[in-house]
Every structure is written in structure tokens, then in C-alpha cells.
Structure 1
Amino acid sequence: MAVVTATTLAGNCAVLVALKRVRRAPAHYPLASLAAADLLVGAFVLPIAAARELFVFHLNWVICSCWSTLDVLCCTASILSLCTLGWERWCGITAPLSRARRARHARLYAVLVWPVSTVVAMPTVFIPSPKHFVPGEMPKACTVNTNIGYVFFSTTFSFYLPASVMVTLYARILCALASPPPIRAHRGRSPNKTVSAPKEKMTTKDASSSEGGRHLSIPGQNAVKREVSMVKKPNMSDEMLNRQRRATRTIVMLMSLFLLCWTPFFVMLPIDSLCECVRDVGWLWCTWLGYTNSALNPLVYAAASPTVRRALHASLTTSSSTRNTDVQLSPSVRRP
């Protein structure tokens, strides 16, 4: 529990610092929302969650209500941020050049995640939870709300609906990536036409560049050579597509971790609200497996996102590089 809490705090703080250092991209807004939600989980939810599992104590109604509300709010915001992140990746694959419009929508949806999560979390304060004590087990300091109506309401909007949206989005992303490149081209020239134009120019120039065995200097010859060298460089659309594929792999890993970590809890919670048949050890493992998702998300950023990885490396090396004041001089300015 201490390792999960410390990793959640340190990792998400590092990701937020890294996102502040890099240039804004459409995907950074839902990423920042996700890191902020996971950071709040580590700061306000996990300490009490660990204490209530390890010690026997009682808290007043206000503290328990705040803790329960933050628990549902932050976990829901984290899941909805993943859903927003999947939507942004789908837009990035299908319309890669509409960057400004994607950034506006991503910023709007990342902001809307929090009021929606608040609407899902606030009823837990006002809806009473039935007493849930299994014989032979010690009562917890703050119990989870197992009201049947609220459980099915919260699990639908916190997990099942976002998970269905994410699965649909990633299925469409895979279909878009599987289609041929001309279908996914966005108002661009065909690569064959781009390559053939400089070849025709070179043929004309070569025919007029030599006459009587002498080489004539043509003013436009350098420009033609520059065009040919530009053609040899990788196509910008291919480079953009490679970046989108790398980013999509990152989000697929996030979604896989999300399903692996949260599915047991959201299957256990409705079952227990109906029959009260889940033992304390089941609650412990399923709940903390879901919390582990908040600690694993930053590791996925650092391992799979080049932009965030470079910013994290710069953040970690800034302090050490600033200590080195020994600057090497070039040969022309060295002292004798």
C-alpha cells in the first residue's frame, strides 16, 4: 500500500511537470486531466484507504463523506479522462491535420470530465448506505456505499459506459489504420505525382545543359537539385502517421491496464450490493487493484510517449546540469 501510494504521488507529479515543459498538443489536455485525477487519488484517497485496512478506528460523518466523494470523483475522472484520450486519438488518426480544432475540443472535453464526475460522486453523500458487516470481520472506519440504486447508477457512468465508448473508439482506430494510405490521405497530393514532377524537370534541364560537348550553367539547376533532395526525404504524412501509431499504442496500453485493473472491482461491487456475499479479502484485493491503475499510468507515459519521456529526462537532468559551470572554450578563444 505504501509503494502504490508513493508511486502514484511521485509519478503523476513528474508527468504534470513534464507536460508543463513541453509544447501543447491536443492529447496533452486529457493527459493532464488523467494525471491530475490520479494525483488526487494518491494524495487524498489512498492514505485513508490504507489506514482503514490496517487499523481499527472511527471517523466522523463529515470526513467519511468527503473521502467517499473524493474516491468516486477522482476514480471517475480518471476513467473519463481515458475515454477522452481515446476520442482524441481517434480524431488524430482520422483527421491528422485539423490540429487546432482537435485542441479546442480536447481542452473542452478535458474540462467537462470534472463536472460530470462530480454529478456521479455527489449522491453518495445524500444516499444512505445499508449497514454492511460480515460476521467475524471488523467494521471499517468508512464504509463503501452499497445502496443498490446508487451502485448501478455510479458503475454505469463510471465504468461500463466509458468502457463501451473506449472499445468502440479503438475498434474504429484499428479499422482506420488498416485502410490503405490513399483512403486516409487528407487533401494532399499523391506521392507518385510529387516524385514524378522533379524527374520531368531534370530531363528537360539535362537536355539543354550540354551543347557541343560544353557544360552550360543553368540558373534553375540548383533549385531542381534541391527539389530532388527534398523528394528523397521521408514523406511528412508518413512521419505523422508513425507518430499517430506510437501515440495510439500508448493509449491502447492505458486502456488494457484500465480494463485489467478496474473490471474486478466493478464486477464485485454490484454483486455485493445485491447479496452481500463478498468477503473482506475480496474487497481488499479488488479495490487496491483498481488503485494500482493510478500508479501504473505514469509509467506508461514515461515508457511509451517520446514527448513526455524527453521532458521527464530534461526535468531530472536540469538540476545536475546547472551545477556544472565548467564551460569548454573553442580553440579560437582559448587563452594562451
Structure 2
Amino acid sequence: MTSNFSQPVVQLCYEDVNGSCIKTPYSPGSRVILYTAFSFGSLLAVFGNLLVMTSVLHFKQLHSPTNFLIASLACADFLVGVTVMPFGMVRTVESCWYFGAKFGTLHSCCDVAFCYSSVLHLCFICFDRYIAVTDPLVYPTKFTVSVSGICISVSWILPLTYSVAVFYTGVNDDGLEELVSALNCVGGCQIVLSQGWVLIDFLLFFIPTLVMIILYSKIFLIAKQQAIKIETTSSKVESSSESYKIRRKAAKTLGVTVLAFVISWLPYTVDILIDAFMGFLTPAYIYEICCWSAYHNSAMNPLIYALFYPWFRKAIKLILSGDVFFVFFLFFFFFTIFIF
């Protein structure tokens, strides 16, 4: 007598390899939807930020300390789209890591470094806008190209040093050897962080975010006060009114950028903090949703610039019309060669 019940077939990442990780398959329709959504975000992060970099660096009219910071931020987001999102897409949809353990460590290192670089860039842009609004007369002498260069250097050096020190020394999973051993299987790329390092990661998100919120709140209040003053003396200072409108629009754009950043990153940061103190019980799909919410922040900034910056829209038209397309292509080519 045979049983009518069949055992579910367990799929492995590597069918012919002992110790292979178990694969969590999606239906064909779900796979198509996921690959489409993730590919769109990755392409937008790559080509959108490449357009920002090309616009700022090619057009001399856009050479300013603020725009250099924006171009450097776009570079960090571009690198997220090139080095992190495509491989993360395969990891998420296939639930397996097919790129080797060494590249898995490199991928995690790039993930942390470029994402935290974006955080620091945004923080320095907030400082820039704060000085521009609170002290516009001396702003050109305070926030110079040299100061912008220092901010850019710090935004790159600190995250790269931190990520290399954490992931290439193995200190991230100190005290979690048993858990790491249990998770260790062929086809997996799960980076485990101890509670101490999770708290550090949380502070690396929380402190810059708090600084940005405080600065933007002050910018908003000062802009409101300036609006009242300009309304009462509008007939006397037409030129200052025009200058105020430009600064207010820049502050508004910054506010939207900061808000998008907080909304994108908050779920991931809260999830890893709770997970570390609750025994890593978060379902994989919840973690992936939070992770991709953070990744997609790198694709959102070019959309914000396109909506709020007329100079960016004009630059896009010139680039895509063919006048600067060759320069755009060279940027993409050399960045790709440099990375790979």
C-alpha cells in the first residue's frame, strides 16, 4: 500500500555539494517581478547618479563647493548601484550566494562603506546649506572649494576605513562563533554582527541623522523668519528677495532629500538593532525588504534633483541630446573599468 502524501522536495543552492545551503525558491511570476523591480532600481542608481556626476563635472557653470559635494554623493550612490545592488539582487531572489566567500566579504564591505559614505555626504550638505542660509554674506569665504574637498575626503576615508577594519579583521562576529558555525554553509553570504557592533552601526546612522534633522529644523525656522522680513520690505530689496527664493528652494530640496533618506534607512537600522538583541529571529524576507529600502535611497536622489533643480534638467537634456553624450559614456566606461 503506497502513501498518497509526498514529501516536499528540498532545493539546495548547490545540488551536488555537501553542506550546501537550503534554497528558498520563488514562483516564476514572483521571480520576474522581483528581478524587474530590483533591476530598475539598480539601473536608476547607476545612470541617474552618473548623469549627476557628468553634469557637475563637465559644465563649468556648475563648479561650486555645494555641487562638488552633490557630485561626490552621487558617486557613492553610483557605486552602490554598480557593486552592491546587482549582486544583492541575485542573493535576494535566488536566496543563495553564487559569487564565493571572498567576494561575499568584499560585497559586505562595499555595502557598508558606500552607504555610510552617503550618510556623511548628506550631513555635510546640511552644514553647507545651514551656513548659506544663516550667514549668506560670508558663506563664500567660509565654505570654499578647499573646505568642500575636506568634507568629501572625510566622507570617503572614514567609511572605507571602518568597513575594512570590521569585515576584514573578523571582529564583527566576536562572541558569536557558534551562530556563525551554524549558519556556515556553501552558498550563503550572511554577515553576522555582534551586539556591540550593531550599536555602533546604529549610532553611525542615528547621530548624523539627528544632526541633519536639527540643522534642517533651524534652516526651516530661519527661512520662515527671512520670508516675513522680505514680505515687509519687498519694495526695497528686490534682489535680496530673489536670492532668498534661491536659498529657500535649495533648503526645500535638502529637506526632501533628508526625509527620503530617513524613510529609506530607518526600517533597516531598527531591524538590525532589534534582531541583534532578539536572537536573530527576523524572517529573511523582512530583512531583505528593509535592506532594499535602504539600497533604493541611492536611486531616489537623482529623481529629487530632477524634480527640484532646473540646472540638472537642463544638463540632462544637453547630455541625452548628444552634445555631451560622449563624455557621459566615457564616465561610465572608466568607472566600470576602475571598479572591476
Same fold (TM over 0.5): yes
Given the alignment of the two structures, is residue 264 of structure 1 paired with residue 267 of structure 2, yes or no?
Answer: yes
C-alpha deviation, 1:134, in angstroms: 9.6
1:313 corresponds, among 312, 317, 329, to 317
Q: Secondary structure at 2:168's aligned position in 1? A: helix
Pairwise CA distance, 1:180: 4.3
1:243 to 246, 249, 263: 246
> CA contact under 8 A between 2:172 and 2:197: conserved in structure 1?
no
- Give the SS at the match of 2:268: helix
> 1:316–1:155: structure 2 CA closer, same or farther, 3 Å change rule?
same
Deviation at 1:6, TM superposition (A): 1.0
Q: Normalising by structure 2, what TM-score?
A: 0.74
Q: 1:44 to 1:73 in 2, by over 3 A?
A: same
Alignment of 1:173-212 (within 5 A): 173-180=219-226
Is contact 2:133–2:219 with CA below 8 Å preserved after alignment? Answer: yes
Q: 1:17-96 residue pairs with structure 2 within 5 A?
A: 17-20=54-57, 21=59, 22-55=61-94, 56-96=96-136
- Letter paired with 2:75: A
CA distance in 2, matches of 1:145, 1:236: 56
Rg: which structure is higher?
A: 1
Provide closer, same or farther for how the CA distance between residues 57 and 307 of structure 1 changes in structure 2, counting only shifts above 3 A: closer
Displacement of 1:144 after TM fit? Answer: 2.6
| Of 150, 153, 159, the match for 1:111 | 153
Contact kept? 2:319, 2:325, Cα under 8 Å: no
Alignment match of 1:274 (pick from 271, 274, 277): 277
Residue 297 of structure 1 is matched in structure 2 by 301
CA RMSD of aligned residues (A): 2.8
- The runs of 4+ residues in structure 1 deviating greater than 3 Å are 57-61, 130-135, 180-184, 318-322
Q: Structure 2: which amino acid aligns with 1:68?
A: S
Question: Residue by residue, what CA displacement relative to the aligned partner does 1:69-119 show, whole Å, maximum 9, x if unpaired?
Answer: 110000000111111111111111012232243133233212211112123
Q: 2:333 is matched with which residue?
A: none
* Structure 1 residues 120 and 128: CA distance shift in structure 2, 3 A: closer
Gaps of 5+ in 2: 1-37, 327-340
Structure 1: gaps spanning 5 or more residues? 185-189, 196-233, 323-336
Instruction: Using structure 1 for the length normalisation, give the TM-score.
Output: 0.75
Aligned length: 275
Q: Point out the more displaced range, 140-149 or 60-69.
A: 140-149
In the alignment, the residues of structure 2 paired with residue 128 and residue 153 of structure 1 have an alpha-carbon distance, to the nearest angstrom, of 11
Alpha-carbon shift at residue 58 of structure 1 (Å): 4.6
Aligned in 2, Cα 1:161/1:15: closer, same or farther, shift over 3 Å? Answer: same
Name the SS for the 2:321 alignment partner: helix
Name the CA shift for 1:43/1:307 in 2 (closer, same or farther; >3 Å): same
User: 1:125 Cα deviation (Å)?
Assistant: 2.2
Q: Counterpart of 2:256 in structure 1: which amino acid?
A: M
Once residues 101 and 172 of structure 2 are traced to their aligned partners in structure 1, the CA distance between those partners, rounded to angstroms, is: 12
- Structure 1, residues 114-135: CA drift from partner, whole Å, max 9, x if none? 1121233121222143436999
Does 2:46 correspond to 1:9? yes
Structure-2 separation of matches of 1:53 and 1:140: 12
Q: Post-superposition shift, 1:178?
A: 2.1
**In the alignment, what sits opposite 1:222?**
none
Identity %: 24
1:259-287 CA-to-partner distances (Å, cap 9, x unmatched) read 11100000000111122120001011000
More divergent stretch after superposition (104-113 vs 167-176): 104-113
The amino acid that maps onto 1:243 is I
